[in-house]
Amino acid sequence: MLNHKAVLITGGTGSFGKKFVETILSRYPQVKKIVIYSRDELKQFELRLKYPAQSYPQLRFFIGDVRDRDRMVMACEGVDVIIHAAAIKQVDTAEYNPTECIRTNVDGAENVIHAALQCGVKNVVALSTDKACAPINLYGATKLVSDKLFTAANNIRGSKDIKFSVVRYGNVMGSRGSVIPFFLERKKDGVLPITHKEMTRFNISLQAGVDLVMFALGNHLGGEIFVPKIPSYKILDIAAAVASECELKDVGIRPGEKLHEEMITDTDSLNTIDLGKYYAILPSVSYTHTEQEYIEHHEAQKVPFGFKYNSGTNTDWETVESLRDLIKQHVDPEFGI
């Protein structure tokens, strides 16, 4: 799928970008070019040490910001595939710096779309978040706008051979700023801060997120928001898995935080199809494909009326034991030893 293709990853030095590069090099050894586009020169330097030019001549490192439309266009010259992972993601950071979040997550998305249309890119997949579903914080709201921009971009492509779609998933296990590394760090203090004892979240591994993007690239018609079927966990089970001996301190829900996360609302379900391993939310306005064409292409079926996908009412749950295994596998290989 990606052999002999040029791929650009915005936010390419983040957790997802690094895993995506690793996966491409493993699965598609004949990839033509991988452009790692980010504004963090230190992370690019560290990644170049891991992938030296003499051994990985297909890698290119572009310093740039998705806010800069001209630089984005320059980076996209000759590119076949764009994976848009750049974003301001911290909920509290976005609440305190709303304009900066909008410039990166909304204006940046528009710049990626413009560059893709101008440069003859064939496939674009943008990363979203469960917080974009019925958002209550600015981060989620900006990602919902971004999702709408990418799905609607299919309607303005004209005669261009290009497809835009989105992937939406929950908390990535062990990603920077997430709860498990935070608890592992606080474990030495003997006290774990708990925002709310009833809180739940969806859980996905970094590799499963990469695999979802690969699925979207290989199967999208354009306009879909792909959602994986993944388990939930309870915050108390995470605490027990990390450090059952620690005291739990109730610190209250942070501004802009939900008790349970959603990925598909009951209203979204009116446009949602079941693909088996994944769901796909279809665009509410599409001038490129009908609902029936999406269903036939994906060999899918409509979800039941009133369906919703919520971390608190999910039917698939991680246990304390399974979480310990996952922490050892995806976060800390020495965990539990």
Given the DSSP bridges, would you call strands 301-302 and 247-250 parallel, antiparallel or unpaired?
unpaired
Residue 163, both tokens: 């497809």
Count Cβ neighbours within 10 Å for each residue of 70-107 and write b for 16 or more, e otherwise: ebbbebbeebbbbbbbbbbbebeebeeeeeebbbbbbb
Amino acid at 182: F
Question: CA-CA distance, 143 to 91, in Å (whole number)?
Answer: 12
pLDDT at position 337, please? 60
Q: How far is CA 75 from the centre of its chain?
A: 22
Task: Say what the pLDDT of residue 174 is.
Answer: 79
Domains and CATH numbers, the chain: 6-170+205-229+262-306 (3.40.50.720)
Q: Which residues of the chain have pLDDT under 70?
A: 337
Residue reference for tokens 């599409």: 286
Residue 9 confidence (pLDDT): 98
Written as six digits, the tokens of 269 are 């379900």
pLDDT tens column, 147-157:
999 999 999 99
Strand partners, 192: 248
Q: Which of 18, 89, 131, 163 is catalytic?
A: 131
Residue 33 is among the residues annotated as catalytic for this protein:
no
Tens of pLDDT, residue by residue over 9-25, are 999 999 999 999 999 99
How many C-beta atoms lie closer than 10 Å to residue 50's C-beta? 12
